[in-house]
Amino acid sequence: MRVPATNAATMQKVLITQRFFDDQAIALLRAHGCEPVIAELPPGEADGNVPPSTLLQWLHGASGWIVGHARVTRALLAELPQLQVVARRSVGYERLDTMAVHELGRVATIAAGANDPTVADLTIGLMLAVGRRLAEGSSNVRRGTMSIALGTDLYRKTVGIVGFGRIGQAVAKRLRGFECRILVHSPSQDADLARAHDIEYTDLRTLLSTSDYVSLHAPLNGGTSHLLCDETLAMMKPSAYLINTARGGLIEDRHLLKALRSGTIAGAGLDVFMSESDPGYCDVTRELASLPNVVTVPHIGASTREGLARSNMVAARCVLSVLAGQPMPDGCVVADGRAVSRR
């Protein structure tokens, strides 16, 4: 990428409303004629909780925005004619109005591929943690007892993967080391992928009724919202575990809470929750976290030093590519209205 002059008067402002944006990614932006501005988020809060009025103030004069969980709406974009590119430092984009991005002549990107191994590692970790009842065992030791909570193997179990994009494939690759039988439910079926990952495609009912572990890796949209609810949870085996490192809205958390309490399923490992987008579910999240057969973590799927460093660099390169009018990193563009803006 050609490095433009970096005179302060010509540098383009790039707002970053994400924590843990590292020095290497900041240096890359500066070396290519941008001035990164890192927003001061309230302690313990993400940009999804920042009011639109504050976002507008922060984004004044910005050409690029590296965003986390803030809602990128038509109304917000309309107030920011100078903003050319919105880059997510992750892969989900359900909070981003892609139609508005396109129609208003902007570009929206994701950090495709950057956190695949990081999320896949956590997925396996949650399978092991909930299956081996690590939270219960740790609690026993802290209480001064060596009482053993008898768990179950992941070795040679049947694992169902719902959604088979990059992360689902990375999970399947890791599961081969455990000699698992892997079932996949996906909107599309690829024979080459099936051979490469030694998987079996199947319908959702068969996957749920057969699997010892069910792991969700589907995007959240109108067709997948509350995919796991009373009806589908009842299809699972009473000995099965449910893992979600994708999006909270894939599960109806109230129904999951009921299924866990009643013994409909054996347990769950959860990195994401409905309460992240709907505060009305905060009590449900707390109740899920209190159950002995549930392992919960606070949406840390992509949050390792290495994973965030990769994501930061992809997001920065996306911003630079748009501002310089150069080709984008593969798989990163989710909305591109530049042709519209040139009409």
**Domain edges within the chain:** 12-114+304-341, 116-296
Q: Can 12-114+304-341 and 116-296 be said to share one CATH topology?
A: yes
Active site residue 69: no
Question: What pLDDT is recorded for position 321?
Answer: 97
Is the CB of residue 110 less than 8 Å from the CB of residue 332?
Answer: yes
Q: Which contacts of 258-262 are long-range, i.e. CB under 8 A and separated by 24 or more positions?
A: 258/230, 259/230, 259/233, 259/234, 260/288, 260/291, 260/293, 260/294, 261/291
Query: What predicted TM-score, i.e. pTM, was given to this entire model?
Result: 0.90
CATH superfamily membership of 116-296? NAD(P)-binding Rossmann-like Domain (3.40.50.720)
Question: What pLDDT is recorded for position 45?
Answer: 83
> What tokens appear for 239 in the block?
């000995």
What is the DSSP pairing of strand 107-109 with strand 333-336?
antiparallel
> What tokens appear for 112 in the block?
């495709």
pLDDT tens track of the chain, all 343 residues? 333 344 555 799 999 999 999 999 999 999 999 999 999 998 878 898 899 999 999 999 999 999 998 999 999 999 999 999 999 999 889 899 999 999 999 999 999 999 999 999 999 999 999 999 999 999 999 999 999 989 999 999 999 999 999 999 999 999 999 999 999 999 999 999 999 999 999 999 999 999 999 999 999 999 999 999 999 999 999 999 999 999 999 999 999 999 999 999 999 999 999 999 899 999 999 999 999 999 999 999 999 999 999 999 999 999 999 999 999 999 999 999 998 766 5
Per annotation, catalytic residue among 136, 276, 310, 317: 276
Active site residue 255: no
Per annotation, catalytic residue among 69, 247, 255, 310: 247
* Residue with the two structure tokens 């500066």: 30
Q: Which fold has domain 12-114+304-341?
A: Rossmann fold (3.40.50)
45 residue type, one letter: E
Active site residue 102: no
How many Å separate Cα 45 from the centre of its chain?
A: 17
Per annotation, catalytic residue among 174, 181, 299, 338: 299
Query: Three-state SS for 35?
Result: strand
User: Residue 255: CB partners within 8 Å, gap ≥ 6?
Assistant: 226, 228, 229, 230, 233
Question: What pLDDT is recorded for position 6?
Answer: 45
Q: How far apart are CA 8 and CA 327, in angstroms?
A: 25
31 residue type, one letter: A
* CB neighbourhood size of 226 (10 A): 16
51 residue type, one letter: P
> What tokens appear for 150 in the block?
């008898």
* Residue with the two structure tokens 């050319």: 84
Question: What pLDDT is recorded for position 293?
Answer: 96
